[in-house]
Structure 1
Amino acid sequence: MLGIGIFSIGFYQVDYLLQQRAQSVLPAMLDGQTLQVRAVVDDLPKRTSNGVQFNVAVLAWKEPQRNVIQSALSGSNTMPAKRLSIHWKIPNPKWRPKNTNHSEVLIPEIIPGQVWDLSLKLKVPRGLKNPYGFDVEQWMMQQQIDGSGFVSQPTPKLTADSVWSFKILIAKLRYQIAQKVIHSLGEKAPYSGVISALVMGDQQAISQEDWLVFNTTGIGHLISISGLHVTMFAAVGAYVANCLWRRTRLPLKFPAQKFAALVGFISALLYTFLAGFQVPAQRTMLMVGVVGVYLFLCRVPKAFDIWWWALGIVLLLDPWAIFTPGFCLSFGAVAAILYAMPPQEDAKHTDIDLIFLEKLKKSLTEAVRVQAVVTIALIPLTVWWFYQISLISPFANALAIPIVSFLVTPLAMLGVLLPWWLGDACLWLAHTCFAILAWFLKPMAALPWSIIYAAKPNAWLLAIGILGVIVVIRPGPILNSWKSRLLGLLACLLLIIPKSWLMGHGISLGEFRMLVWDIGQGSAVLIQTKNHTLLYDTGPVSGNFDPGKRIILPFLRASGIDKLDQLAISHQDADHVGGLVSILENFPVKRSIGTIPEDHPLQQQYVKHHVTLSPCQAGHSWQWDGVEFYTWHPHAGTTFEKKFHTGKPNEMSCVIEVRNQHHSVWLTGDVEKRAEQEIIERLLQQPDQLSKIHQRNIVLMTPHHGSKTSSNPEFVQLLDPNIVFSQSGYKNRYNHPHPSVVALYQSRGMQLLDTNLTGAQRWDSQQSLLKHEFFRK
């Protein structure tokens, strides 16, 4: 009955929260509208390469927009979008009006608690939808962000109003701590962001290069407010309270042990808020609280009782926490330690008789076993969330845990708490200690065997891995059961065996699979045959967004693809080469074709990474596993010489046809009408080829994202495709796909399938069937 009751409470809690989120999210009718709002900054701002991003709580929508808002809400009195994510960008000098004052271009310092009058172009919660990709919409729901706003004219005005709440007070305190760290260490200190992260969980200032080192060495869990840090803070608070309380007569009225537990919990609670209420900190704070409650009730809790209570309360407060890696890894690591090394009833009696060296030996042995238990126990979850395992992690953690936990973190905390030069000295020492640690970590991360990648396991393979973990780390003497433990370890290692060895890719000879990514305003398409892979274009360049690192590489690794047999770059435009450098740097590429001029900087990237680049030429073809690849454009004599690249790059796009017995897919890049006319002439000169093409079901990538400068009616009529798709950004400024192009295909009985509406598209050519899946549900 208790279980049914808990399940019912959880079910109704989730239902209630979903209704609340649905009511507060920005209405679709306000998407793209420019409205004026008064709002208070309620979180730490984040500097970006072209401006600043911060979150605000909406105080009021200005009067002139009341009619628009009421229309969007269909007469409801509910205020739309209680919380917004604001993007304030520095205008591009090319688009900036000539009469703009310099003061209007600079963005002032954004501080939590400030109240601003903002003119915002609104956007509903929306992100790219790709397999194994980051789900922005789900993240915004978890963060209780109801929409986005982009600052527009007139220039925002800072008001003299003040708004106070506990959340804003904590945000102000976090801001002051961040400023103290920057002021003490200087903006050029390489690890000032790490110090801020250790003190208050703010990881914004940590560079991507440093994160790569931390994740490769497996110490990323230390570069945040971990459970150990909260425990240390609670323990210090409890110890000080206990010492002070015992110096008075108050223990006669209220036991010092209970008072210390109360202060320890309050310390953990305050530090958890200071850390941004992250899940690992929540878990530790709640476990400290549960221990305190048992102490007040004069009962001795079982270890797993504490764990279960903390788990239940976290999920009750935030049911969506279960979809975050921090939740799974934090609770999983503690559960593994409690299961593998249960508390011994007679531990207090046996330790008294041990001499110092024996105690030290025992402590070191237990520390090594804890590290081994956590490392092995988190293999399945790490592969599930990150598609990789750090082999160097046990050694890096053995070095980093004591330095970060017992030197860097305490010194950083003291540096924030102590005044004047004492605080500066402590922060400087913390930074120096971490810099020395990083000096050792970087060569570890550079080792070729430091990390291995593995495909994301399916449910049954994950279950086998977890069962293997249970067998390996179970309590008891290791030597007495080493055979069964070794068997369990082998079950865990099934997770890192290439996926194709166990179950293949589900593609037979003569078949192929095409993935059309939801990549924004750009192009990236993956073609897989039974044993080979082609990547066509690498997505757009967009600020700090790297489609190679954020979308393409995660998919390749999660899918168990270990190399690219061919990388095709249609042409040199930025919306097609955005992820090229990161792919060349981080993934094996056997060869590449493209139309990139000889003086283009990307040519040097190919030389640097020892990848052969050949010009794309009409008539070039090859076969993989019963699937033919044929190049239709540019003309056969094209090279990288400048004389071939004097016109528009779009007209030089590499056009590749992928065909088997039943289907023909055309990847067209950004060809425009002149290039389309050249392709028409080549098709008409090869009537046998054209006849074979028409015997297949034709899938056409709409040229140039559906621009009105492409999709020549003669070209479309000659190919006569059965299916057309395009890739474009949500409400892009080019108006792609153009209404006239959409109408052209509709007149021929076809719906233009744009990734902006469908999300990523997966097409499977299986004999005569062409199966599809769209990822925006």
Structure 2
Amino acid sequence: MRAIGCGFALGVIALQRQAALPGRAAWIGLVLAIVLAAGWAVWALGVRAPAGDSWVRGQFRERRWRMASGWAAVWLAAGCAGFGYAAWRAELRLAQALPAAWQARDLYVTGYLSSLPSYGANGASFLFRVESWGTHEEAHDAATQLPQLIQLSWVAREAPLPPLVPGARWRFSVRLKRPHGNGNFGLRDTEATLLARGVRATGYVSDPARAVRLPIDASGIGVRIERARAALRARIDAVLGDAPHRGIVIAIATGAQDAVSDADWRLMRNTGTSHLVAISGLHLAFVAGLAGWAAGALWRRARWRGVEAPLVVPAQKVAVAGALLAAGIYAALAGFNVPVQRALWMLAVVALALFAGREVARSHVLAWALGLVLLRDPWAVTAAGFWLSFCAVGAILFAASGVPRLHRAAPQDLSADEVDPMRDRAEPSAEPIARDGWRRRLAAIAIPPGGWRGATRRIALRFGDSARVQWAVTLALAPLTAYWFGQIPLIGPFANALAIPWVSMLVTPLVVGSAALPAPIDAFALRAAHACLVGLAAALGALEGLPWAVLRLPQPGAWPLSCAAVGVVWWLAPRGWPLRWLAPFTWLPLLVPAPTGPPPGAFRLTALDIGQGTSVLVETARHRLLFDAGPGPESTQAGERIVVPYLQAYGIARLDALMISHDDSDHSGGAQAVLDAVDVEVFVAGILPAHPLWASTRAKGAQTVQCAAGQRWRWDGVDFEVLWPDPGALAGKPNAHCCVLRVTTAAGDARETQAGPVSALIAADIEAGTERTLIERDPARLRAQVLVVPHHGSRTSSTEPFLDSVWPLVAIFQVGYLNRFHHPHPGVYARYAARHIVLARSDADGAARVEAAPGALAVERFRDTQRRYWIDAPAQD
């Protein structure tokens, strides 16, 4: 089963890395590969070893080769089956699509809320199950199914939101678009998340005044579960109100994490305790264990017509059934996230094995859970929770494989062979142990139950086991934590040693118990749970304040991750594994990454995909400059959601300069988030003196400079020059005094052909008047091979004389997908296309990265090099 489950998972993972789904030829190849591999496996593994003296060395070698080839065939067949199954599921899901002509237009949909709403500062978002679409004058392709599940947001503008109850049927006027997410190197793929949830269109309620609540609500088991979650959340909100850690209580009770505050997220992320917020396998195991103990205890005392209940059905089976039932209910409240699914399936497999009277190895249980999770959701492999959950359990099983199940007592009670640990041949914990061997093993090595020495030793062994498990989990998850979150919480083992028992033994029972208690008793339980969280937050805050608490790292590539994975296996191997002292050295590529900057004299320019706005990162060999920071809290919060995570993903904890071109929210809105997240050496801006960013920057200890033409500096052989605005007081509208920056590589070796300097011009939001002034002053200074298009391609800029003066080879448009300004203007875009310029649009291509060196220029577009089969090529207006 291990080979089948792991092979199936590898096939699913391989499909999620494909740029396109398999065609007819690939499907034929898959079927043939499965049939041939399965046939070979049956033949090779079905060969029996001959008896007697005929078993010679040559036959042994042949048998060993057949076994190896048979298991390889099992892996191949399972991998192909997983690949084909995931591709089939993907084709079914992608068959639902919103017609391109229906995007950004008013449509009428009728259906019901199918999820617990997620509330934000400006409104709520929820999943909406569409039952019918309103009539539309344009027919859609008959071969395309309309989306059945869409994600809607309802912004509260003039009137407050009405009650949004799961199962409530509504008729909405909506504006939709196809699933689309910002595409940036090293950041999470939003489109993959939407596909995994089954969402095939996103949008908002365009006319809340015309929203109609229909009289008959939807029904079904899914609706009832969501209503139970909503009712439980409402009870918590009513009791705790604005309590600081209310979001954590809601997350533990229902799995909804939208109410967790940013401060709590930051605290738990930096201490490695974020897993305690989500309903994880740990919480589910605790609830299942408590329910199983209660069910078993009650059943042992039950009698029916004078017959004791355990004589009819063993109490052990009743306890397992009760644990499984409680786990299923709790998993439903959690929304069946991946860690909960993993724990639930493992419990179900163990329960079935117990009912069938069979032993099953723990590694087989994990393999069954792996296969069942991916059968239900092949896109689970795109989420961090999948890797963290399964790798944590796998690490525990692997680390325990060389540790005896039971510990010895005093050495004088054992023989010399039993005292020597190198001679211990106890079976690994992942393997089944014969039942009749338990009594002999207990008699030989059990700890005497009496006496304070025995109790002390039992406590010490329990703490030793817990420390070993915590060490294995921390070590195994460190590379994955660095990959997904760009940091390794060094304080994590100590924080979890406190937080895990505190949350498991106090907070979780109180929160779960409150769901079953009547009012007003439930209020006491909820307040007690919150009081426990207050104490825990204080302790974690003290740990977070230690200078060595968090190690921040750039997102590792495949090579450092592979080396670290080898080191994890090497470190956690059973005692006696050769050269274990070399394992730490395999972590050097992860902990000491190689410099990623361009060589001296060259620069790298990355135009981020932040939607409608500008944010450009310029890197030299040892310096970093960020030009604009995208929208802030007043809009899409791209500065916090995209710009800061991108800097952290690439290990940029310090900016040598942050340049804010002017005071427009899509350029300056995210600056505060950047200032809060990274250190800034110099703040250069074209904003008015009264702007709050000046005071905020000075409070951070950064040098402040007003942007003005004539400012020049050189970093690592790369020249930077500000071309606009003129020195002095800023006048006119913000677009009239934008900072314009020109970046130029070193000149190169004159003896080489075409080794001249390469320049990039970042023009912010300048318009035609500024373009004319710059041309009149010095058109040669505008010459640049790379142009970040002014004003997002608005018709008020990019005039013919300006393009003739710049004459770019590459033009980058930073525009939002289906933005309301209709940028870039079709006429302006055609103006660039007519010059045969290499074009990159953030709405269609994602982020664009330019590598510029003397005499060399290379362009990489995110959706070209990182394309996946679910990425939809957006229509370009």
Q: TM-score, normalised by structure 2?
A: 0.81
Aligned-residue offset at 1:493 = 5.0
| Match status 1:654 vs 2:726 | no
Matched, 1:55 2:127: yes
- From 89, 104, 110, the equivalent of 1:17 is 89
- Which of the pair has more CA radius of gyration? 2
Question: Partner letter of residue 719 of structure 2?
Answer: E
Counterparts in 2 of 1:726 and 1:261: CA distance versus 1, 3 Å: same
The yes-or-no answer on 1:590 pairing with 2:681 is: yes
Which residue of the other structure, out of 485, 492, 502, is the alignment partner of 1:386?
485
Alignment partner for residue 346 of structure 2, among 283, 287, 290? Answer: 287
Q: How far, CA to CA, are the matches of 1:138 and 1:553 in structure 2? A: 21
Please name the residue that 1:97 is paired with.
none
Shift of 1:537: 0.8
Contact 2:812 2:848 in 1 (8 A): no
The equivalent of 2:289 in structure 1 is: 235
Q: Provide the residue aligned with 1:771 in structure 2.
A: 858
For 1:89 and 1:647, the matched residues in 2 are separated by 33
CA distance in 2, matches of 1:673, 1:544: 27
Aligned to 1:619: 710
> Whole-Å Cα distance in 1 between the matches of residues 709 and 655 of structure 2?
22
Say which SS state the counterpart of residue 128 (structure 1) adopts: coil
1:500-649 matches, within 5 Å, as: 500=595, 504-505=596-597, 507-541=598-632, 543=634, 545-635=636-726, 637-638=727-728, 644-649=729-734
Q: CA deviation at 1:584?
A: 1.4
- Are 1:39 and 1:115, in contact at CA under 8 Å, matched by a contact in 2? yes
1:179 CA drift (Å): 0.9
C-alpha contact 1:283 1:331 (8 A) present in aligned 2: yes
Matched residue, 2:151 = 85
- 1:148 aligned onto 2:202: yes
1:134-213 correspondence to structure 2 within 5 Å: 134-153=188-207, 155-185=210-240, 187-213=241-267
- In the other structure, the counterpart of 1:99 is none
Change in 2 beyond 3 A, CA 1:671/1:390: same
Q: Write the letter of the residue equivalent to 1:83.
A: L
CA distance in 2, matches of 1:75, 1:366: 61
Structure 1, 348-357 or 555-564: larger mean CA deviation: 348-357
What CA distance in whole angstroms lies between the structure 1 residues aligned with 2:496 and 2:76? 41
Conservation of the 8 A alpha-carbon contact between 1:116 and 1:158: yes
Q: Does the Cα contact within 8 Å between 1:200 and 1:275 map onto a contact in 2? A: yes
Q: Which structure 1 residue ranges, 5 or more long, are not aligned? A: 92-101, 639-643
Distance, in Å, in 2 between the alignment partners of 1:288 and 1:227 is: 10
Indicate how the Cα distance of structure 1 residues 268 and 727 shifts in structure 2: closer, same or farther if over 3 A, else same: same
* Alpha-carbon shift at residue 486 of structure 1 (Å): 4.5
Deviation for aligned residue 1:18: 0.7
Amino acid at match of 1:89: V
- Is 1:444 paired with 2:444? no
- Extract unaligned runs of 5+ from structure 2: 1-40, 42-73, 408-437, 748-756, 865-877
Cα distance in 2 for residues equivalent to 1:133 and 1:434: 31
Amino acid at match of 1:131: F
Q: What CA distance in whole angstroms lies between the structure 2 residues aligned with 1:760 and 1:512?
A: 17
Q: Which runs of 4+ in 1 moved over 6 A?
A: none
- One-letter amino acid matched to 2:352: V
Return the alpha-carbon distance in structure 2 between the equivalents of residues 599 and 590 of structure 1: 21
Query: Are the equivalent residues in 2 in contact too, given 1:499–1:560 (CA < 8 A)?
Result: no
User: What's the counterpart of residue 344 of structure 1?
Assistant: 404
Aligned residues of 1:42 and 1:168 also touching (Cα < 8 A): yes
Q: In 2, are the aligned partners of 1:563 and 1:590 still within 8 Å (CA)?
A: yes
Cα shift at 1:194:
0.8
1:277 matched to 2:336: yes
Distance apart, 1:592 and its partner CA: 2.4
Aligned residue in 2 for 1:641: none
| Alpha-carbon distance between aligned partners in 2 of 1:473 and 1:752, rounded to the nearest angstrom | 50
Report the counterpart of residue 771 of structure 2 in structure 1: 676
What SS does structure 2 have at the residue aligned with 1:735? coil
CA contact (8 A) 2:349 2:368 kept: yes
CA RMSD of aligned residues (A): 2.0
1:651–1:672: 8 Å Cα contact kept in structure 2?
A: yes
CA distance in 2, matches of 1:731, 1:275: 35
1:297-446 → structure 2 map (5 Å cutoff) = 297-342=356-401, 344-346=404-406, 349=442, 350-354=445-449, 355-446=454-545
Aligned match of 2:423: none
The one-letter amino acid of 2:736's match is E
Which residue does 1:222 correspond to in 2? 276
Q: Separation in 2 of the partners of 1:470 and 1:207?
A: 37
Contact 2:631–2:639, Cα closer than 8 Å, also in 1: no
Q: Is the 8 A contact 2:785 2:807 kept in 1?
A: yes
Residue in structure 2 matched with residue 260 of structure 1 by the alignment: 319
Residue-by-residue CA offset, 1:175-207 (whole Å, 9 max, x unaligned): 11111111222x211112111111221111111
Counterpart Cα distance in 2 of 1:556 and 1:633: 27
Provide the C-alpha distance between the structure 1 equivalents of 2:126 and 2:253, rounded to a whole number of angstroms: 20
SS at match of 1:381: helix
| Alpha carbons 1:49, 1:543 under 8 Å: kept | no
Report how far residue 484 of structure 1 moved.
4.4
Q: Is the 8 A contact 2:634 2:669 kept in 1?
A: no
Comparing 444-453 with 42-51, greater Cα deviation is found at 444-453
**Number of aligned pairs?**
736
The answer to whether the 8 Å contact 1:453/1:496 transfers is: no
Task: Give yes or no for contact 2:560–2:587 (8 Å, CA) kept in 1.
Answer: no
More deviation, 652-661/534-543: 534-543
Deviations 1:197-255, CA, capped at 9 Å, x for gaps: 11221111111121011101111011111112111121222222223333234444433
User: CA shift at 1:107, angstroms?
Assistant: 1.6
Whole-Å separation in 2 of the counterparts to 1:658 and 1:492: 37
Q: Please give the alpha-carbon distance, in whole angstroms, between the structure 2 residues aligned to 1:773 and 1:592.
A: 29
Give the Å deviation of 1:443. 3.0
Q: Is the 8 A contact 1:498 1:560 kept in 2?
A: no
Q: Is the 8 A contact 1:41 1:111 kept in 2?
A: yes
Structure 1 position 317, deviation (Å) = 1.5
Q: Which residue of 2 aligns with 1:700?
A: 787
Check conservation: 1:455, 1:496, Cα contact below 8 A. no
Report the secondary structure of 1:378's partner residue.
helix
Q: In the alignment, is the contact (CA less than 8 A) between 2:809 and 2:838 conserved in 1?
A: no
Q: Deviations over 1:295-354 (max 9, x none)?
A: 122222222111111111111221111111111111111111111123635567234525
**Separation of aligned partners in 1, 2:698 and 2:406:** 66
Q: Which moved more, 1:150-159 or 1:22-31?
A: 22-31
SS in 2 for 1:225: coil
Aligned-pair distance for 1:421? 2.5
1:539/1:579 contact within 8 Å kept = yes
Structure 1 contact 181–416 (Cα < 8 Å) conserved: no
Cα offset for 1:488? 1.6
